[in-house]
A = this chain, B = another copy of it.
């Protein structure tokens, strides 16, 4: 029934995490919401199928996933943290009008930045990662 269920079980197993219905539900929700959900959005969605799931459980689970490299967590201008199912290095486009966020991935850009900082070393600082926050306006396509 759920197309991603097997892949999700595999992923949990490969990280040495126990497979529970709650965990599977939470990971499935990323495929439905797609975007970059807040904990609250995940709770709402998961409760449609599993009304008894506790708020604390979702937070603990998301935390476990972040710690085990299943998902990542980031923050925007607004209060609530957001979770990201995509693990490969990427940047974000932020709408200046609302909370909408999209991914942006471009190897040339990353190469350009690498080259730049190779040439312009920052004193007493060793770069581990560079993330761009690209703020602007989405226009209807």
Contacts and interface: CB of A to CB of B under 8 A. Distances in A.
Contact of A109 (B102, B104, B116, B125): B116
A133 B124 CA distance: 17
Given A109-B116, A120-B108, A135 B131 contact: yes
A104 B122 contact: yes
Nearest to A74: B77
Contact of A77 (B75, B96, B116, B123): B75
B128 A137 contact: yes
Contacts of A49: none
Interface in A108-127: 108-109, 112, 116, 120, 122-127
A132 B131 contact: yes
Contacts of A77: 73-75
A132 B135 contact: no
Given A127-B134, A132-B132, 14 more contacts: A104-B122, A109-B120, A112-B112, A123-B141, A124-B138, A124-B141, A125-B137, A125-B139, A127-B136, A128-B136, A128-B137, A129-B135, A130-B133, A131-B133
